[in-house]
Amino acid sequence: MELLSNLALGFQTAVTPMNLLYCLVGALIGTLIGVLPGIGPVQTIAILLPTTFALPPVSALIMLAGIYYGAQYGGSTTSILVNVPGEASSVVTCLDGHQMARQGRAGAALTISALGSFAAGSFATLVLAVLAVPLSELAFQFGPAEYFSLMVFGLIGSVVLASGSMLKAVGMIVLGLLLGMIGTDVTSGAHRFTFGIPELADGVGFVSLAMGLFGICDIINSLEKRETRDILKSKLTGLWLKKEDLRMAAPAVLRGTLCGSLLGILPGGGAIISSFTAYMIEKKCARDPERFGQGDIRGVAAPESANNAAAQTSFVPLLTLGIPPNVILAMMAGAMMIHGIQPGPRVITSNPALFWGVIVSMWLGNVILVVLNLPLVGIWVRLLSVPYRLLYPAILVFCCIGLYSVNNNTFDIGLTALCGLLGYVFHKLECEPAPLILGFVLGPMLEENLRRGMLLSRGDPSVFFTRPLSLVFLVLAAGMLIAVALPAIRRGRERAFKEDYTNV
């Protein structure tokens, strides 16, 4: 049993006291920012990236992964108790979760979302472990043409599943690709778009771009909204589930887990889209759909399981193919590259301890979250009363010090301010920054594979269409574009995203 020996190696890595500690720290930070509305995993990972430089790569990745799935747990808490989604992926949980809380069943809602997340997380860990080896072996047969087409497929997937205008999302990807080209060209050594600034010879720092577009820009946007939070005090009674609840929720957890696991693997997928999809599936499956929105436990169980499952299976394409399926995994890819690890099929063979250690730590992290979260709910909710006017200066201080420490220069701080301004403009023009980050991360790889592929075929672009696997990816990409352009599906997509917004 190769799988068992691999998992054993993972346990050896993950159960060292230091890695357990970082797993705990990541899960706690994730829960914390999951509870706080306005700060999500993307911003947090961007802000904390520099602090992980000092850690060994395994610990850094364990902690960053913990932030991602921890946020899925934390987000549900505020959705249920306060009717404020702490995370975008918990928006649908508000619908039935908060109704349950109003009926005095907050305890049951919290318990099922924790147990559902745990079941989903365990299953997703298994999916990751089982799929990893065959997928990475497949990836070894990829040449430059296959990689190029796969990345095109991934980028188009992120456009199709993104909300808002598709044309704008395509433009943002291309802008990301162009920003990724700033710096020294690997093949020729020529400086591109550096404007003679020596600090730009190494390119725009990933940390600067991510922190500017997400960290700084979000602070500015929150300040403009002048939001003031009211805290609804709902009493917590009885965390135990009734038999009836369990009978209703168990199949929903199963469906949510399967839905989330699948959507997490697909390019463009991830926690947010899967929680919406799981809720819609649940409503379609139910014999009594009119009960949804009035405190049905299935409406909490399914999306909460789905978002946690997706948060974990979205590591599959990153760790096996080297393609981040969404913006958070693009952050992870950035973190790995900063630590000198190129994400992709080689990670499994060259760094088995890291690979399996991170996978096992995800399961351990889920155990930690269940054990910690239910008793600590009261504390998390009280954290909501920290006013934003005290919180955001602290975030800024963290950002600035972290930025300086990346290269020990102040240039990066100024560059981040510029990226923040750019992010502000994007926000005002309703352009999503997430596709830009994906383009930025994939840009250098995309160009390198295009150039290598064309060099090998002596300038004949048909190589992308004659190699079978490459053709499959391109056909899938084209299929997605056509599907979205079809009027019927387009209306459905617009309606689905509209529902998202009206529910927020």
Shorter beta-carbon distance to other proteins: residue 421 or 472: 421
451 binding other proteins? (CB under 8 A): yes
Closest approach, Cβ 45 to other proteins, in A, equals 18
431 binding other proteins? (CB under 8 A): yes
Contacts made by residues 337-342, CB under 8 angstroms, sequence distance 24+: 337/206, 338/49, 338/53, 338/206, 338/207, 339/53, 339/57, 339/60, 339/61, 340/57, 341/57
11 binding other proteins? (CB under 8 A): no
Closest approach, Cβ 195 to other proteins, in A, equals 9
Shorter beta-carbon distance to other proteins: residue 15 or 174: 174
Shorter beta-carbon distance to other proteins: residue 120 or 172: 172
Pick from 428, 491, 495, 498 the residue near other proteins by CB under 8 A: 428
Residues 6 or more apart whose Cβ sits within 8 Å of residue 246: none
x/- site string to other proteins, residues 103 to 142, per CB under 8 A?
----------------------------------------
Contact predicate 77/239, CB 8 Å: no
Pick from 2, 244, 288, 430 the residue near other proteins by CB under 8 A: 430
x/- site string to other proteins, residues 22 to 61, per CB under 8 A?
-----------------------------x--x-------
Shorter beta-carbon distance to other proteins: residue 109 or 384: 384
Piece in contact with other proteins (CB under 8 A), picked from 22-30, 34-42, 160-168, 331-339: 160-168
389 binding other proteins? (CB under 8 A): yes
Pick from 176, 182, 205: which is nearest to 403 by CA? Answer: 205
Closest approach, Cβ 218 to other proteins, in A, equals 11
Question: How far is the C-alpha of 325 from the C-alpha of 266, rounded, in Å?
Answer: 7
370 binding other proteins? (CB under 8 A): no
| Helices first, then strands: H and E counts in the chain | 23, 2
Question: How far is the C-alpha of 125 from the C-alpha of 363, rounded, in Å?
Answer: 6
Closest approach, Cβ 236 to other proteins, in A, equals 30
x/- site string to other proteins, residues 216 to 235, per CB under 8 A?
x--xx--xx-x---------
Say how far residue 258 (Cα) sits from the centre of its chain: 18
Element (H, E) at 6: helix 2-14
Residues 6 or more apart whose Cβ sits within 8 Å of residue 161: 266, 268, 269, 273
CA angle 475, 477, 478 (to 5 degrees): 65
454 binding other proteins? (CB under 8 A): yes
SS3 percent helix, strand, coil of the chain, rounded to 5, is 80, 0, 20
Residues 6 or more apart whose Cβ sits within 8 Å of residue 107: 236, 237, 238, 239, 240
Neighbouring C-beta atoms of residue 107, cutoff 10 Å: 20
192 binding other proteins? (CB under 8 A): yes
Shorter beta-carbon distance to other proteins: residue 289 or 414: 414
163 binding other proteins? (CB under 8 A): no
Backbone angles phi, psi at 447, to 5 degrees: -65, -45
Shorter beta-carbon distance to other proteins: residue 134 or 393: 393
493 binding other proteins? (CB under 8 A): no
Question: How far is the C-alpha of 163 from the C-alpha of 158, rounded, in Å?
Answer: 10
166 binding other proteins? (CB under 8 A): no
Residues forming the site for other proteins (CB under 8 A)? 51, 54, 165, 167-168, 170-171, 174-175, 177-178, 181, 185, 187-188, 190, 192-193, 216, 219-220, 223-224, 226, 387-390, 392-394, 396-397, 399-401, 404-405, 408, 410-411, 413-414, 416-417, 420-421, 424-425, 428-431, 447, 450-451, 454-455, 457-459, 461
